[in-house]
Amino acid sequence: MLSKACVVGAYQRKLEEIAAHDDIELTVAVPPEWKDERGTLKLEKIYTRGYRLVTQPILFNGSFHLHFYPRFESLVRQVQPDVIHIDEEPYNFATFHALRLAQKYHARTLFFSWQNLNRRYPFPFNAIESYVLNHINYAICGNHDSVEVWRSKGYTGKIKVIPQFGVDTDLFSPLHPFTPSSFHPFTIGYGGRLVKEKGVHILLHAFARLNDHSRLKILGSGPQRDSLEQLARDLNVRDRVEFLNWIPSTETPDFSRSIDVFVLPSLTQSNWKEQFGRALIENMACGVPVIGSTCGEIPNVIGDAGLVVKEGDDLELANALIRLRDDLDLRNDLAKRGRERVLEKFTQKRIAEETVGVYRELVNDNT
């Protein structure tokens, strides 16, 4: 497997679950770090049992489309894999590079995609995308819209919807199962990137409508940090809003257990809509009721285990927050249903089992 996402320690739990299958020998190549709008994400080595985790030098770090691993061929030559799981979008150079090496060493291939908008790319990325779609053996998509995107672009091969990662439900677990937190005052939380499309400014406007003693915790980093702090001051709620710096992935359950409700107020953009909303299932696993907007895949992730409000509507979001603040029975019910939904659909073990099923299909496919 080639995956920059697996620099995150909590995500590596899926790798242990994959490797736990007797017919799987797993090697995972990761960069020493990955750079994005949050800053530099250093490799966390947290869950490393049962498989080989190999650090690979990376070129054009931070460039989503251009990055690749110049020494990956030496690893492929050494391992001689039956399957190369390319944990990248099909229009990225890293995918094309890994696919060509797989062809050279006669390995079966698959890519992973979150892409849920039918976007058109300039040369050479359109050419890369076309080549990959015509030569890859399998596609895994993280959401249902992604399947439609790749079918509409001409991909005719095998395809399956499996989220990229599940949740380690031992790590992400309720402090007191199915009992609403006793934190006072009522505490609302958001954790993620601080960028326009995540809609944190909508959450601040909704929070200002509560006009009570509630608190808001915003965990994360990104280019909107300063403007969001200024907005909190402009709305006269800065003294009730706590901005927290990014923390290691294995510490986020502590954040979840410190809040009464988690909100993901994402906003559809011309070039983006929510592809999954991983923070939702992490908080659901911790027994935290969640509220999400109608953006992208969010309603499918939440199902009937949380509240869904119209994206961009701070009044509707404020009313949902008030409803949860005042209805302890509803909070308790959503806490229980959220945990049950994760256990049924989104555990790391479940995601690993489905992924291993794809590997077996590839190995047994003689076409």
28-58 pLDDT per residue, tens: 999 999 998 778 999 999 999 999 999 999 9
Residue 154 and residue 273 share a domain? no
Residue 355 and residue 290 share a domain? no
Distance CA 318, CA 285 (A): 24
The domain in which residue 214 lies consists of 187-345
pLDDT in tens, 111-165: 999 999 999 999 999 999 999 999 999 999 999 899 999 999 999 999 999 999 9
Q: What length does the chain have?
A: 367
pLDDT confidence tier of residue 246, bands split at 50, 70 and 90: confident
Residue 304 and residue 157 share a domain? no
Residue 16 and residue 109 share a domain? yes
Q: Is the pLDDT of residue 263 over 90?
A: yes
Distance CA 220, CA 23 (A): 39
* pTM assigned to the model: 0.84
Domains in the chain, number = 2
Domain-located, residue 182: no
CB 31 within 8 A of CB 69: yes
What is the rounded average pLDDT of the residues 339-352? 96
Domain-located, residue 359: yes
CB 324 within 8 A of CB 309: no
Residue 337 and residue 197 share a domain? yes
Residue 306 and residue 230 share a domain? yes
Domain-located, residue 315: yes
Q: Output the domain CATH number for residue 336.
A: 3.40.50.2000
Residue 9 and residue 144 share a domain? yes
Q: What is the pLDDT of residue 265?
A: 98
Per-residue burial over 246-259, b = 16 or more CB atoms within 10 Å of its CB, e = otherwise:
beebbebbebbbbb
pLDDT confidence tier of residue 176, bands split at 50, 70 and 90: low
Residue 267 and residue 157 share a domain? no
pLDDT in tens, 150-169: 999 999 999 999 999 999 99
**Single-letter amino acid code for the residue at 70:** P
Domain-located, residue 200: yes
